[in-house]
Amino acid sequence: MKADPKGVLTGAIFLDGDHACAEGAIAAGCRFVAGYPITPSTEVVERCADRFPLIGGMFIQMEDEIASSIAIQGAVWAGKKAMTVTSGPGFSLMMEHIGLAAMTETPCVFVDVQRAGPSTGLPTLPAQGDMMQARWGSHGDYGIIAICPNSPQECFDFTIKAFNLSEEYRVPVLVMMDECVGHMTERVIIPPADEIEIYPRRYYEGAKEDFLLFKPDKDMVPPMVKAGDGYNIHVTGLTHDERGYPVMTTAAQEKLVRRLVNKIQLNAEKIVEVREDQIDDADVVVISYGITSRVVIPAIEQARKEGMKVGHLRLVIAWPFPEKRIRELAQKVKAFVVPEINYGQMVLEVERCVAGKARVVLVPHGGGSVHNPKDIYNVIYTSVKG
């Protein structure tokens, strides 16, 4: 289905990543945002606060991130598309409720505009240190989807994609921005509403008496209903059966939680998205995501100019990780170079998938700024020659 034209700001506009993210949410049909101010994400909610009153949206600044992360879930069960926005310290606070959303299969979007951590860290400066937390941050086992924009345009596009994925898989989706992307201003093309593809919430359409809120029908995903439609649903964070009733047995745990994991893992090929450049003849492949995927470009160009066969694989969807593609490439390439603004997070996934078949070299960076492309180039050089 196409986007609702009310609210879509069609045109070519200079927006920073945070503002573009808000516009993406609006275009996706999000009409409920609960948030709490935290640098460098605050502009997202400020824009929502500004735009929502005249487009029938509800924005509320809640008393903390914990309240924000569950208020959006109440809104989803009342029938709205909902989003919350934060950065590192708030992301940590929201972990319990990301787990609740995964457990209750509540489709919603969490935006993390990453800054240097741990703890208060460097509030106004970029990092990519929350990537593993995005996958494993809440306790227990569950599947989750995370997407990494690298420009304000992508903040717009990928926020729409995040909403679509969350509705398709009835799962919380994380938009992993960073301060650099969030605060850079670039030209964003917002298309007319009838060119924006929206995945509508898949509501149940069968007989009321047969309805089971957690019985999967399509791709291991159950259809939704909302409060007020007379289904007398019960939603709980306790391990539950298909009716939604708590069941305290290992069998119920196995049935439910395995499906929550498989829902993403076994659908991974449909969800995974990478962008590849000059991979076909590459001896060395640079794997990057987020802002770093732009920083590597001059390094790769320089290497190519000097005759080195270097390719670039960019993670658009970081979780689920593109295991299949990495395993394929590991058969043919000599080395993978993984620059990230942290001390080694996604590189661990690369190492796992490569399983020793090629060299994997991390180019870490402490957070606070992006890499110097020269440092990435140096590692590419030694990987090609070595």
Partner 1 sequence: MSEDLLEVDESMPINTVEEFLRMDRMPHIWCPGCGIGTTVNCFAHALETSGLDLSKVAVVSGIGCTGRVAGYINLDSFHTTHGRAIPFATGLKLANPQLKVIVYSGDGDLTAIGGNHFIHAARRNVDMTVILLNNFIYGMTGGQVAPTTPLTATASTTPHGNFEESFNLPYLAESCGAVYVARWTAYHVRHVTKAIKEALLKKGFSFVEVLAPCPTLFSRRNKLGDGLDQMIYFKENSEIKNDADTKTVSLSFQGKITVGKFVDKERPTYLDAMNDHYSKKFGEKYQLYKG
Residues that bind partner 1 (CB under 8 A): 32, 34, 53-54, 56, 58, 60, 62-64, 66-68, 70-80, 82, 96-97, 100, 226-238, 245-246
Of residues 116, 121, 155, 177, the one with CA closest to residue 364:
116
Contact 364, 325 (CB under 8 A): no
Which residue lies nearer to partner 1 by CB, 14 or 245? 245
Nearest distance in Å: CB 97, partner 1: 7
Phi, psi of 17 (to 5 degrees): -55, -40
Nearest distance in Å: CB 111, partner 1: 17
* 82 token code pair: 């909902």
Contact 340, 363 (CB under 8 A): yes
Which residue lies nearer to partner 1 by CB, 234 or 270? 234
Which residue lies nearer to partner 1 by CB, 45 or 147? 45
Cβ count near 17 (within 10 Å): 33
Q: Residue 118, preceding bond cis, omega within 30 degrees?
A: yes
Which residue lies nearer to partner 1 by CB, 237 or 368? 237
Contact 6, 59 (CB under 8 A): no
Nearest distance in Å: CB 194, partner 1: 23
Nearest distance in Å: CB 165, partner 1: 21
Which residue lies nearer to partner 1 by CB, 79 or 364? 79
Contact 131, 346 (CB under 8 A): yes
CA-based angle 290:293:294, to the nearest 5? Answer: 110
Reduced to 3 states (helix: H, G, I; strand: E, B; else coil), residue 175 is strand
Phi, psi of 326 (to 5 degrees): -65, -40
Paired sense of beta strands 172-178 and 108-116, if any:
parallel
Q: How far is CA 342 from the centre of its chain?
A: 18
Which residue lies nearer to partner 1 by CB, 46 or 340? 46
- Residue located via tokens 């289905």: 1
Q: Could you say which DSSP state residue 316 is in?
A: S
Nearest distance in Å: CB 198, partner 1: 18
- Residue located via tokens 């942290």: 342
Nearest distance in Å: CB 100, partner 1: 6
Nearest distance in Å: CB 74, partner 1: 3
Nearest distance in Å: CB 210, partner 1: 15
Paired sense of beta strands 108-116 and 58-61, if any:
unpaired
Which residue lies nearer to partner 1 by CB, 85 or 287? 85
Cα–Cα distance for residue pair 8/187, rounded to 1 Å:
16
Nearest distance in Å: CB 256, partner 1: 15
Of residues 44, 27, 39, 132, the one with CA closest to residue 84:
44
Which residue lies nearer to partner 1 by CB, 26 or 71? 71
Which residue lies nearer to partner 1 by CB, 64 or 197? 64
Which residue lies nearer to partner 1 by CB, 30 or 181? 30
Contact 192, 57 (CB under 8 A): no
Nearest distance in Å: CB 245, partner 1: 6
Contact 191, 222 (CB under 8 A): no
